[in-house]
Amino acid sequence: MAVGGGQGGIDIIANPSAAALATKQYKQEKESVAREKQLRLADRYGDASAARKNAASAEAESGAAKGAGPDERPRLGPTEVYCEYTVDAAGRVVQKNPLGSGSGVGTSAVSKTKYEEDVLEGNHTSVWGSWYDRNTHQWGYACCWSVLRGSYCTGQAGKDALTAASSGLSRLMEEKRKGSRSTTGGGRGRTGRVQDQ
């Protein structure tokens, strides 16, 4: 087995000290490349870890002065904190309102949907989708039971009219059903003439 490959490879079994030295040099070179990359990124975009350390030390000082406990914000996982970023004069990307600065919380919550919520339209006192009509299987407004989106609210009068219309419709359907039973049982065949019995 050879470490390093090629003609100048190191035999691990024949020369374990050289293999250990080559491994140590490889790890040091890898760490130095990673540090250089980190420094280049910090120069270009700003050092976020230093900003976090400064914010944490400022919070610790203010927390120690107030006697407050640890920071209540979650440390890991997704959050609903809205952050804006901008490019400063030096060309670095920086937060407009970093955590811990500004008045109060200093950030606003991100909207969870692309649709506006809790918007009352057309003089309605409830939102669209707050009522479901089981007869027609449609969503509507709870304030007037209207299933027409964007309609003007009729309030209690609209509910009364819908109730009267539905009871009138059911009464009409019942009368039609009774009338159809009396005509079908009259002894008439397909031709409409009375058949001999």
Domain count, the chain: 2
- Is there a domain that residue 63 lies in? no
Report yes or no on 144 lying in a domain.
Answer: yes
Say if 154 falls within a structural domain.
yes
Q: Which residues contact 109 (CB under 8 A, 6 or more apart)?
A: 80, 81, 82
Average pLDDT taken over every residue of the chain:
74
Q: In this structure, what are the phi and psi dihedrals at residue 193, rounded to the nearest 5 degrees?
A: -90, 155
Q: Rounded to whole angstroms, what are the CA distances from 45 to 40, 86, 99?
A: 9, 11, 18
Q: Residue 21's domain spans which residues?
A: 12-45
Does the residue 73 lie in any domain? Answer: no
Could you write out the DSSP letters of every residue in 168-194?
A: HHHHHHHHHHHHHHHHHTSSB-TTSSB
* pLDDT band (50, 70, 90) for residue 161: confident
Task: Taking residues 71-80, report their average pLDDT.
Answer: 58
Of the candidates 97, 101, 92, the residue with the CA atom closest to the CA atom of residue 47: 92
164 belongs to a structural domain: yes
Asked if pLDDT for residue 157 goes beyond 60, the answer is yes
**Structural domain includes residue 32:** yes
Per-residue pLDDT of 12-68, as tens digits, reads 788 888 888 889 999 999 999 999 998 888 888 877 776 667 666 766 665 555 555
Which helix or strand (DSSP H or E) is residue 11 part of? strand 10-11
At 31 the pLDDT is 95
Q: Is residue 124 part of a domain?
A: no
Of 140 and 54, the structure prediction assigns the larger pLDDT to: 140
pTM, full prediction: 0.32
Residue 55 lies in a domain: no
